[in-house]
Amino acid sequence: MTAACWRSPDLEKLPQDEARAKARLLNDEGAEKQAHQAVLDCEVRLKRLELDAGTRRTTIQRLKLQQFETRKNDEYQAIGHEITRYEKDVDDLETRELELMEEMDVARAALQAAQAACAHDRALVEEDLAAIAQRRDRLEAEHREVAAQRETCAAQVPESILPLYQRLFKSKIGLVVAPLQDGKCGGCHMKLIASTVVAAQAAREIARCEDCGRILYVEE
Cα–Cα distance for residue pair 196/202, rounded to 1 Å: 10
Given candidates 49, 60, 118, 209, which one binds Zn ion under the rule CB under 5 A?
A: 209
146/153 Cα distance (integer angstroms): 10
In contact, 195 and 207? CB cutoff 8 Å = no
Residues in 172-191 that interact with Zn ion by CB under 5 A:
185, 187-188
Phi, psi of 79 (to 5 degrees): -65, -40
Indicate whether 216 belongs to the interface with Zn ion (CB under 5 A): no
| 199 sits near Zn ion (criterion: CB under 5 A) | no
Which of residues 100 and 209 has its CB atom nearest to Zn ion in the complex? 209
Pick 4 or 188: Cβ nearer Zn ion: 188
Cβ proximity of 185 and 212 under 8 Å: yes
Minimal distance, residue 201 CB to Zn ion, in Å = 16
Handedness of CA 60, 66, 70, 74 (dihedral sign): negative
Q: Is 211 in the site for Zn ion (CB under 5 A)?
A: yes
Choose the binding region for Zn ion from 115-123, 132-140, 154-162, 203-211 (rule: CB under 5 A): 203-211
Chain contacts with Zn ion (rule: CB under 5 A): 185, 187-188, 209, 211-212
